[in-house]
Amino acid sequence: MRLERLLQSQGFGSRKACRLRIEAGDVRVNGAPCLDPQAEFDTAGLTFEIDGETWAYAEHVYLALHKPAGFECTHQPQHHRSVYALLSPPLVRRGVQSVGRLDADTTGLLLFSDDGRFIHAMASPKRCVAKHYRAILKHAFDETLPKQLLAGVSLTGEPTPLAALSAQQIDAYTLALSIDQGKYHQVKRMVAAAGNRVEALHRVGFGALSLEEGSLSALAPGDCCHLGENHLALLGYRH
């Protein structure tokens, strides 16, 4: 692939802008400077450096973000900053999108990619990928709460009751809940339908990928990282 086109595909601007940066000497490829925008490179295992930062070429990117509170999952936020402000500009320019959304006040694991097939696979109701949450409740825990959530609760606008995959008490005010749907405000609405209220919500994991285990356990709020093949395997996804 020609270098100027390669850089464009990775989110570093228009082809003209990439060409100018190459001719200005701003780009190194596999550790060596390159001033020729038309130079051809094999993308397999290729790395390049711009502004002192090293990048690895990737046909598609897969990201995990530890979302903090106070960010909206949209490019055009209404009341808070956009969650895309937490990603580096090249990732945003190459068109990554979030897999579903988290409310502005909800924290936890949020996935991004520019691979439409991956986004569909993770978000599709037919795939039933589990999402795992910790909910802080307004009222002290009632032993009937998990029973209601597991049996299914009726929500306005839904033709049939929605049931949790799992629901269990952590402490007097904390509920661990897993669902495999992705309805609007689903966890909050389910808990409300069962007679309580969610005061704070945190998504712990997605499929078998968790913020509490493995390499993602070190991911601080506001930070993101690239997902490797081992992470995608935990999500049950193959290229």
> Which residues are known to be catalytic?
103
Short-list 70, 210, 197, 206, CA closest to 140: 197
> Which residues contact residue 230 at a Cβ distance below 8 angstroms, ignoring those fewer than 6 apart?
none
Structure tokens at 225: 């990282």
- Bridge-based pairing of strands 71-72 and 81-82 is parallel
CA distance 202 to 132: 9
CA distance 75 to 73: 7
CA distance 154 to 206: 24
DSSP 112-157: EES-HHHHHHHH-TTT---EEEEEEESS---THHHHHHHH-B--TT
> Which residues contact residue 55 at a Cβ distance below 8 angstroms, ignoring those fewer than 6 apart?
10, 47, 48, 49, 90
Short-list 133, 87, 92, CA closest to 109: 133
